[in-house]
């Protein structure tokens, strides 16, 4: 129904989707944190929602020199504007190609799904989950959702391909999927390793611990200086 796209746009004050052509496979961008695409599969048409996976050990968080990308204890990976220096390493490092930069904004942000972190802080579900009319989306603890997925596959094996996408890929994630067909048929990257990407570089990072300590502080200082310049420039432009 594409309702989750509209709910997401409304919740995060983004541009509402226009008329959607389901013959086109779309990607998330700076105006859309989630998209729903139609795939023609061996079992017929299947609609799939795509968004940031909110990894357990996110590559974007490891690549971020100022720790602007942060994995919270509740699951969401959030972007902290006050720390971001605009390097866009988060975009390069993401195995799912999800963080998107607002190139055309005078005050650019990184846009990606954060599981409606603000709503979760108030004890509510993500907007897409809460408003889904058919129950295609579920929320809960990761352990609960994995148990539910395994139960569904056990109770109705003919309805599901025997794999939970996101349980182990890239070390696991907060978003997970069940599918009636192999995930390759739905455009998922099935070559992602079952190990967190930051764990592949921990040995290297530990060898440059002093840089790890001092570099973020230096970069934050540079960011604060450039931020003041941008603020001044914006005010001046507003007065013209």
* 21 within a domain of the structure (yes/no): yes
Chain segment 50-89, per-residue pLDDT in tens: 999 999 999 999 999 899 999 999 899 999 999 998 899 9
Angle (CA) 84 61 149, round 5°:
130
* 220 within a domain of the structure (yes/no): no
Token pair belonging to 170:
């890239």
Structural domain boundaries enclosing 69: 3-200
* 142 within a domain of the structure (yes/no): yes
Contact 165, 156 (CB under 8 A): no
- Residue 191 sits in a domain whose CATH number is 3.30.70.20
* 211 within a domain of the structure (yes/no): no
**Angstrom distance (rounded) from CA 159 to CA 179:** 8
**Angstrom distance (rounded) from CA 69 to CA 113:** 12
pTM, two decimal places: 0.82
Contact 70, 61 (CB under 8 A): yes
The b/e string for 150-180 (b: 16+ C-beta within 10 A; e otherwise) is eeebeeeeeebbebbbbbbbbbbbbbbbbbe
Structural domain total, the chain = 1
Contacts of 215 (CB under 8 A, 6+ apart): 65
* 113 within a domain of the structure (yes/no): yes
Chain segment 181-222, per-residue pLDDT in tens: 999 999 999 999 999 988 886 655 545 445 554 555 555 565
């Amino acid at each position: 129904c594409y309702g989750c796209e509209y709910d997401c746009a409304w919740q995060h004050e983004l541009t509402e989707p226009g008329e959607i052509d389901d013959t086109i496979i779309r990607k998330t961008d700076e105006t859309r944190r989630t998209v729903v695409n139609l795939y023609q599969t061996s079992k017929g048409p299947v609609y799939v929602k795509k968004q940031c996976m909110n990894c357990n050990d996110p590559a974007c968080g490891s690549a971020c020199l100022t720790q602007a990308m942060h994995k919270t204890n509740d699951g969401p990976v959030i972007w902290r504007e006050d720390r971001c220096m605009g390097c866009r390493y988060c975009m390069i490092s993401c195995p799912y190609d999800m963080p998107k930069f607002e190139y055309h904004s005078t005050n650019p942000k990184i846009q990606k799904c954060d599981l409606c972190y603000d709503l979760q802080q108030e004890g509510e579900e993500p907007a897409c989950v809460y408003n889904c009319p058919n129950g295609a989306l579920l929320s809960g603890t990761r352990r609960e959702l994995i148990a539910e997925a395994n139960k569904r596959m056990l109770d109705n094996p003919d309805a599901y391909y025997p794999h939970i996408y996101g349980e182990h890929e890239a070390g696991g994630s907060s978003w997970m999927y069940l599918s009636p067909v192999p995930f390759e048929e739905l455009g998922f990257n099935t070559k992602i390793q079952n190990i967190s990407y930051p764990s592949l570089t921990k040995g290297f990072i530990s060898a440059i611990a002093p840089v790890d300590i001092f570099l973020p502080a230096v970069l934050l200082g540079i960011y604060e200086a450039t931020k003041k310049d941008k603020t001044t420039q914006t005010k001046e432009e507003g007065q013209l």
